Amino acid sequence: MSRRVAASSAIACVLIPVLAAMPARRPQYGGTLRVDIGATLTSLDAGQGRAGSGEEAEARAQIESLIGEHRQSAAADAGAFRVSEWQPGKLLTLAANEKFSGGRPYVDAIEISMGRNARDRLLDLELNKTDFAEIAPQDARRAAERGVRLSVSQPDELLALVFLNSAREKARTQVREAISCSIDRGAVVSFILQKTGEPAAGLLPQWVNGTAFLFSMPASAAAGVARAKELLQQMAGPTKLVLGYDSADALEQAIAERVAVNAKEAGISIVTLGIVTGKTASDSGADAVILRLTMNSAKPRMALTDFLSELGKLADVDGSALSDLATTQDIFDRERAVITDYQVVPLAWAPHVYGLSGRVRDWTAPGPAESWPFADVWLEQPAASTPQ
Amino acid sequence: MRHSCRFHFLLTICVVLFVIAGAQARAFRQHTDALPKVWNDLAAELADIVAAMVSPAHPVNFEFVNVSGLGAAGADAARAALEAQLAHHHFRIARSANADTALRATLAESSENYVWTVEIRQKDSGHAEPQVAIVTLAKNALPNDSGDGQTVTLKSQLVWKQAKRFLDFRLIGGDPAPLSRLFVLEPSLLEVYDSKNFEWELQNKIAISRSKPWPRDVRGYLKGSDDKIAFAMPGISCTQTSDAIPAVKCEPGPEDLAATGAPVPGIEVGEAVNVGLSCGDARAMVASSVGDWTQADSLQGYIVRNNQAFASGVASGTAVAFDGPVVSLVQDAPGTNAVRAVVRNLKTGNYEGYLVTASCSQ
């Protein structure tokens, strides 16, 4: 708990000064909000839903929430924005919907530049070429040090090590527990996530269910390794495991490599393996994988149900939904049942991080499954020059 | 003589012990009195669960940790309440640290609830992990915090709160009392509450229509006299027409509402209004702080002196802090020393209406 608080405090020290000292203003109308996204959308056809890669699906969902069912030719009052220009794969321009039932958005337009990779997005923010871009959590500290204004959500993404069903014999409970003990979660947060996040011992973060502190972690990295060695001494023969990660995900790769290093200190051999897109974890030959699970609800029962459903597809985990009447105690008990079997080893919680230009006002980081609140955002207009 | 000395000595000891015992009882009562009843009920529920999990036959170690946002006084009271409830179940708290059973109570919180847990560790129980008892209290189930007494200059009173956004409110006749009435102005709706048995009861809902969508930053102010309320919103101006069951008559009004405030001379503030209060030869103002609507806010009193060439304002007294931005600030009625502030509480998401009264100590 104290380490978690320390990590949060550290990032707050970096971020808060950047966000503070905004002068008070009534919202102003006007201006064009410039947005960079990594996805490259080639179609805006309705009904595509979350088709495509994770990044594309996310971008499509965000855009659909901005325009609603409001297409270029329609005259409905649903959707805060309407499409005014569309260059497939390059640029999407949205205009404020004057008839929007929730009130006309403050900005006149949004220009969404597509296909901007993480490096481009960061550069655009630094050079004030964009007003908004999502930043990888591991890049947040660097961005703040370069003067980029950041907005950080509550931690809403779980990073976990999941043992696959197929490896149940190979990775028995004691091995799984030894690996869990050996992992230095503090280092994962400090060095890989650059202090943007929290070490995790449970599936849900503290702010969601209020019980994360009940899941204990080794008192120190050395104590964890010692406990892992103690567990391994009770077993016969060396253990060799393959740990898979999404080959296109630098964060997953860094974490997988860190887990392998920690496990080696305890005497467990882990080989990391990049799994190419399109190949399933079980087909890859991996015994365990690094998984990123994004919360789809801030309600603990729904968030845990979603997580268990996903985990149940890979590991020997009861993936059934929690009852609508589940209490905090029920949710905790179910969470603990998964954790104490070590089929799922929580590592860290990461937030969503957004880079903003200095003129963006009234931005609030969205919660799980919420959309970018661009209709509420307004842009600081340059002060009119005073005649001499 | 020797017997007399001994008697006086024993009497003194008795008096001292009596005083100490009385002080402790008072302190305990003050602790538990500091808690709303719901907390005591929660402590009882938690103690019941613990009693069902572990026998009180032997002394237990008891530890209490507060990792929630509840202040030290509240946490002390919570601890005292739980200890009292455990004692009610005949648990005895051991002085030494090596009792066979250890109870570790933690007061924590999530975004929606206070979460109170007790981890029970028993030697030779066969459980590798501690047993855990959990109870919760929804933050929005807590009674209203009056929020007053934060400053000698400004005194705030929470009048109304609701999850739905509202633009302004007007309290007529004071707190829920016979014949008092409360108006709450929402976008598209005016709600009228009358006092019944010292609680607010909805009397009437009056829809406010407009041919085009409201502006995103729709504003609205209640004004008029206590007998005949009026209000203005963009493009609409309305006046109360009947009293018993309030109704209003509306007519077109200006799109841009006239400013309700005035700047504090020489100081950058958020919203500012004059209050009908003289502090010697100066006048008083109340203003919110700088910051946008994503940040916590406060109200500060200012003394404004009109010098020969210019007016200048100086912050005076301690600010009244809120858990969110002040989204609307108006003088309660012309000439009064009170202002109405609508605050969007960032912690709970509720909108809250405060009546803030300014007084000037000379």
Q: Does B105 touch chain A (CB under 8 A)?
A: no
* Minimal-distance CA residue of chain B relative to A154: B111
Closest by alpha carbon to A289, among A376, A383, A167?
A167
3-state secondary structure of A89: coil
For residue A299, the tally of other CB atoms under 10 A from its CB is 15
Q: What is the DSSP string of A189-238?
A: IIIISTT-SEE-SSSS-HHHHS-GGGS---SSHHHHHHHHHHHHHTS-S-
In chain A, which residues have their Cβ closer than 8 Å to the Cβ of B218? 103
Residue in this structure with the two tokens 């916590």, named with its chain if needed = B296
Contact B297, B343 (CB under 8 A): yes
Q: Residue A140 in contact with residue A11, Cβ under 8 Å?
A: yes
Question: How close, in Å, is residue A59 to chain B by CA atoms?
Answer: 25
> In terms of CA atoms, which chain A residue is nearest residue B291?
A24
- pLDDT score, position B274: 85
DSSP per residue, B198-228: TEEEEEEEEE---SSPPPTT---EEEE-SSS
Say what the ipTM of the complex is: 0.75
Could you tell me the two tokens for A304? 């845990």
Question: What is the structure's pLDDT at A92?
Answer: 96
The strand pair at A288-294 and A240-246 is best described as parallel
Identify whether the C-beta of residue A93 lies closer than 8 Å to the C-beta of residue A85. Answer: yes
Predicted local confidence at residue B256, as pLDDT: 77
Are the Cβ atoms of B294 and A99 closer than 8 angstroms? no
Q: How distant is the Cα of A212 from the closest Cα of chain B, in angstroms?
A: 10
Is the Cβ of A2 closer than 8 Å to some Cβ of chain B?
no
pLDDT at B118: 96
Closest CA–CA distance from residue A89 to any residue of chain B (Å): 31
Q: How many CB atoms lie within 10 A of CB B158?
A: 16
- Which chain A residues have a beta carbon less than 8 Å from that of B66? none
DSSP state of A188: I
Shortest alpha-carbon distance between residue B177 and chain A (Å) = 36
pLDDT at B145: 35
- d(CA A207, CA A222) in angstroms, rounded, equals 29
pLDDT < 70 regions, chain A: 1-25, 46-53, 69-77, 383-388
pLDDT in tens, A100-128: 888 899 999 999 999 999 999 999 999 99
The residues, any chain, with a CB within 8 Å of residue A146's CB and separated by 6 or more, are A122, A126
Which residues have a Cβ under 8 Å from the Cβ of B119 and sit 6 or more positions away? A214, B103, B104, B106, B130, B131, B132
| Interface subset of A 320-349, CB within 8 angstroms of B | 327-329, 332, 336, 340
Q: What distance in Å separates the CA atoms of residue A317 and residue A342, rounded to the nearest whole number?
A: 10
Q: Write the CA distances from B19 to A23, B6, B8, B33, B80, integer angstroms.
A: 56, 20, 16, 20, 20
Nearest to A103 among B135, B216, B293 (CB): B216
- What percentage of chain A exceeds 70 in pLDDT? 87
Which residue of B42, B53, B106, B115 to mutate against A (max A Cβ within 10 Å)? B115
> CA-to-CA distance for A149 and A166, rounded, in angstroms?
45
The structure tokens listed for A199 are: 């070490």
pLDDT at B22: 46
- Chain A residues with beta carbon closer than 8 angstroms to that of B141: none
Alpha carbon of B244: minimum distance to chain A alpha carbons (Å)? 33
A79 with A67: CB under 8 angstroms? Answer: yes
Task: Please tell me which of the candidates A1, A27, A328 has its beta carbon nearest to residue B115.
Answer: A328
Contact A345, A176 (CB under 8 A): yes
CA pair distance A215, A238, nearest whole angstrom: 29
Whether the full predicted model's pTM is greater than 0.80, yes or no, is no
Q: For residue B293, which residues of chain A lie inside 8 Å, CB to CB?
A: 27, 362
Three-class SS of B111-152: CCEEEEEEEEEECCCCCCCCEEEEEEEEHHHCCCCCCCCCCC
Q: How far apart are CA A263 and CA A229, in angstroms?
A: 10
Ordered per-residue pLDDT tens for chain B, 362 residues: 455 556 565 556 545 544 444 444 444 444 444 567 788 899 999 999 999 998 888 889 999 999 887 767 778 888 999 999 999 999 998 877 778 899 999 999 888 889 999 999 988 776 678 999 999 998 766 653 323 333 336 888 899 999 999 999 998 877 666 678 899 999 989 999 988 877 888 988 999 888 888 888 888 999 877 778 889 999 899 988 877 667 888 888 888 776 666 777 766 778 888 887 777 667 788 888 877 788 889 998 887 766 544 556 677 777 899 999 999 999 888 878 899 999 999 989 999 999 998 887 64
Cα angle value A278/A281/A284 (rounded, 5°): 85
Return the bridge partners of B282, or none: B279
B129, B109, B110: which is closest to B119 by C-alpha?
A: B129
In angstroms and rounded to an integer, the radius of gyration of the C-alpha atoms of chain B is: 28
Q: Which residues of B touch A18 (CB under 8 A)?
A: none
Residues of A with Cβ-Cβ distance to B110 under 8 angstroms: 206-211, 300
Question: Is the CB of A25 inside 8 Å of chain B's CB atoms?
Answer: yes
The residues, ordered by sequence, that sit 6+ positions from B265 with a Cβ below 8 Å of its Cβ are B304, B310, B311, B312, B313
Answer whether B217 sits within 8 Å of A99, measured CB to CB.
no
How many Cβ pairs within 8 Å bridge chains A and B?
94
Smallest Cα distance from A202 to chain B, Å:
14
**Inter-chain touch B67–A213, beta carbons under 8 Å:** yes
Question: CB contact, 8 Å: B345 with chain A?
Answer: no
Interface of A with B in 262-321 (CB under 8 A): 298, 300
Q: What's the DSSP call for residue B353?
A: E
Do A347 and A188 contact (CB within 8 A), yes or no?
yes
Is B294's CB within 8 Å of A105's CB?
no
